[in-house]
Amino acid sequence: MLKRYEEFLKEVDREISEYFKAQQQYIKCRKGCTDCCMTGEYPFSRLEAEYLMQGFQTLSKEERDGVRQNIKLVKLQKADFIKHSNTANNSPAAGQKLNIQTESRFEYRCPFLINNLCVLYSRRGLVCRMFGLAYLDENRIVLPECANSGLNYSGVFDSASGMVNLENPIQKKLTIDTWLHSPLAEKYALEAGEIRPLIDWF
């Protein structure tokens, strides 16, 4: 399955590379830019997580130890986040009714980022491969988060009004589900399994 997934990724990368070329005037991604790795949920399918961890075994002891330490730290942060979220949701002010809210998103620094570089870049997930591109989703242009930081597409994005002046967004919805339930995934008979935030696979 992992061998088939590698072949699938080669075709995905070719298509995404074409998207980046077509959008290059709006793209500011450069080696060493880690904006997309600093805060996120990083959804990974079971298949992607297995592929990532296969690569983890090839890292040096120092790199493996660094990733393990990062994972431990993120798990502690998540436990603290959940604790504070539960406290906030279960402690209404006097005279107020308890307002049950949907669970807040826990976002974190990717644990595979060591010295501002991804130690498993060649095995990064689909969400990482397509991050940075703007695409059309039901007549709405979806921008990458880094547009708010003055990076990709910031020249055509007015953060005050939320307006985007982009004439040629990618017409394909660039999400992990789009790829994993595509004819291309069927071609390689992929069974991607459940999708979870990356940290929840550890």
Q: How far is CA 168 from CA 22, 148, 152, in A?
A: 9, 20, 14
In the chain, what is the straight-line distance between the N-terminal and C-terminal CA atoms, in Å?
21
Phi, psi of 11 (to 5 degrees): -70, -40
Q: Single out the residue of 58, 193, 65 nearest to residue 121, CA to CA.
A: 58
Question: Hey, what are 188's tokens?
Answer: 């390689």
Q: Can you tell me the distance from the alpha carbon of 160 to that of 61, in angstroms, rounded to the nearest whole number?
A: 47
pLDDT, tens digit (0-9, with 9 covering 90-100), for 179-201: 999 999 999 999 999 999 999 99
* pLDDT score for 88: 66
Q: How far is CA 23 from CA 128, 132, 163, 196, in A?
A: 17, 10, 18, 29
pLDDT, tens digit (0-9, with 9 covering 90-100), for 37-90: 999 999 999 999 999 999 999 999 999 999 999 999 999 999 999 998 877 665
Q: What residues does each domain of the chain span?
A: 2-190
pTM of the model: 0.86
* pLDDT score for 196: 96
> Which long-range contacts (C-beta less than 8 Å, at least 24 apart) are formed by 20-24?
20/132, 20/133, 22/168, 22/170, 23/133, 23/134, 23/168, 23/170
Cα dihedral angle (118, 121, 125, 129), rounded to 10 degrees? 100
Question: Hey, what are 201's tokens?
Answer: 């696979």
